[in-house]
């Protein structure tokens, strides 16, 4: 074995799952050097770039406690033998078995596999904030600014954004908390940087907008749904790593169907393997003869605005006056399969966004707690029966292990 060169070791080790890479690094200096090399990372990613069926992703409710839809498939890339949601729930408790928490919840997810945990301990109800990788169990604590103490927070909206270099190494992260008043309007925005270990107050030009959902993290940006005083929907984006001034890092995007009749409440889907934010809805358009036609439309957010990338007939199951289905998400890896859920009928609808073909599944096996069920056709998915279409947050495991960078003024757990 000592005669094997670094490139041969890279070819061998790349066949093993990500979760045990951390252990491999302490075997010997050669293995550590191999696994930290750009060649090893590029080779591993190229081996698994088309392995969407072996990847893990889920939708979480915004309270951070329940997985709505959990695809794990034993996750060959990461080596998971149980659903991803179970790792998220134990990310903090496994590190602090002696710590008693009054409340622990995940408040934000990054596109590189990190989660943001807000915890209140039973000791004097002290608040704590953690950034963690739920699978590797790497976890760091961030000190809280006095403005972020429990008594100072009204209705906070959290977010976490990350920055990588040309070698795809995670350099830093930034935590954002938008503090809203009881009316929903923004009170202030605080940003924590792992590079400085400090919080800073940011001035936003959208203080009178109402933030309605949790943030979506993608490519160093955070995105929120917002409503203005005229009850119009917008997407507000924040570029955390721009070199521009504070006001220039904020951007508002008008939805492309604001003037049209739509079927569903607006929501966006993140496809991190493609690096895009996507929006889907059924839109009524007027034909040449004056009659109305309904199309299932998919847009992709570009720097210049929304780009229509798909427009298909949704079929009779999603048209008409009474629709029992609501969109859940778009497959984050292939970006071509849309998932719809009917709580009334307890059935799942899959639609191919390229061909328009659809499949409906209503055969499920209830789990022991009778709150979740597993589709009989697809044992990879676990679907919750609770709040299935309210406040969903996407979380996708990346195809590489991004280590939390060294930080200033933080305490590793």
Find, among 227, 228, 226, the residue nearest to 237 by Cα.
226
Find, among 177, 219, 197, the residue nearest to 409 by Cα.
197
From first to last of the 413 residues of the chain, give the pLDDT tens digit. 667 788 888 888 888 888 888 788 788 888 888 888 888 888 888 887 765 545 677 777 665 556 666 765 556 788 877 777 777 767 666 666 566 666 778 888 898 989 998 887 766 667 788 999 888 888 888 888 776 665 456 667 889 999 988 877 889 999 998 876 555 555 678 899 999 888 988 876 666 777 766 788 988 999 988 887 777 888 888 899 987 666 678 888 888 887 777 777 777 666 655 678 888 888 887 777 877 788 888 899 888 889 998 888 877 777 665 567 778 888 887 788 888 887 777 778 888 888 888 888 776 665 655 556 666 666 666 666 554 444 567 788 888 888 888 765 444 44
Residue in this structure with the two tokens 């929501």, named with its chain if needed: 267
Angle of helix 6-13 relative to helix 38-48, nearest 10 degrees? 30
List, in sequence order, every residue forming a beta bridge with 301; answer none if it has no partner: 306
**Domain-by-domain residue ranges, the chain?**
1-48, 83-254+395-413, 256-390
Distance CA 340, CA 349 (A): 5
Q: Please spell the DSSP secondary structure of 113-166, one letter per residue.
A: S-EEEEEEESSTT-EEEEEEETTTTEEEEEPPPGGGSTTT-SEEEEEEEEEE-T
């Amino acid at each position: 074995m000592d005669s094997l060169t670094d490139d041969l070791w890279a070819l061998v080790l790349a066949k093993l799952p990500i979760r045990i890479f951390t252990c491999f690094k302490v075997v010997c200096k050669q293995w550590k050097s191999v696994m930290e090399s750009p060649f090893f990372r590029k080779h591993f990613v190229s081996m698994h770039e088309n392995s969407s069926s072996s990847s893990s992703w889920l939708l979480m409710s915004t309270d951070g406690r329940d997985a709505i839809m959990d695809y794990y498939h034993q996750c060959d890339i990461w080596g998971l033998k149980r659903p991803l949601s179970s790792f998220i729930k134990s990310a903090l408790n496994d590190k602090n078995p002696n710590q008693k928490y009054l409340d622990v919840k995940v408040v934000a997810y990054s596109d590189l596999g990190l989660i943001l945990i807000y915890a209140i301990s039973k000791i004097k109800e002290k608040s704590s904030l953690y950034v963690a990788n739920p699978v590797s169990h790497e976890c760091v604590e961030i000190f809280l600014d006095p403005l972020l103490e429990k008594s100072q927070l009204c209705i906070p909206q959290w977010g976490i954004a990350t920055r990588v270099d040309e070698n795809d190494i995670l350099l830093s992260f930034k935590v954002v908390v938008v503090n809203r008043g009881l009316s929903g309007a923004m009170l202030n925005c605080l940003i924590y940087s792992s590079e400085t270990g400090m919080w800073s107050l940011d001035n936003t030009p959208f203080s009178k907008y109402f933030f309605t959902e949790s943030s979506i993290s993608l490519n160093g940006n955070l995105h929120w749904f917002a409503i203005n005083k005229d009850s119009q929907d917008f997407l507000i984006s924040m570029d955390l790593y721009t070199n521009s001034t504070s006001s220039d890092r904020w951007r508002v995007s008008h939805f492309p169907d604001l003037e049209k009749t739509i079927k569903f409440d607006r929501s966006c889907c993140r496809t991190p393997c493609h690096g895009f934010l996507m929006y889907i809805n059924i839109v009524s358009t007027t034909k040449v003869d004056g009659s109305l036609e309904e199309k299932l439309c998919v847009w992709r957010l570009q720097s210049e605005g929304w780009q229509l990338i798909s427009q298909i007939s949704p079929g009779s199951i999603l048209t008409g006056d009474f629709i029992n289905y609501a969109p859940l998400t778009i497959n984050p890896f292939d970006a071509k399969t849309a998932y719809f859920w009917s709580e009334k009928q307890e059935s799942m609808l899959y639609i191919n966004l390229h061909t328009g073909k659809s499949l409906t599944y209503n055969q499920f096996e209830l789990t022991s707690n009778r709150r979740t069920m597993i589709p009989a056709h697809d044992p990879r998915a676990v679907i919750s029966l609770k709040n299935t279409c309210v406040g969903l947050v996407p979380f996708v495991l990346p195809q590489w292990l991004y280590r939390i960078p060294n930080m200033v003024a933080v305490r590793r757990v």
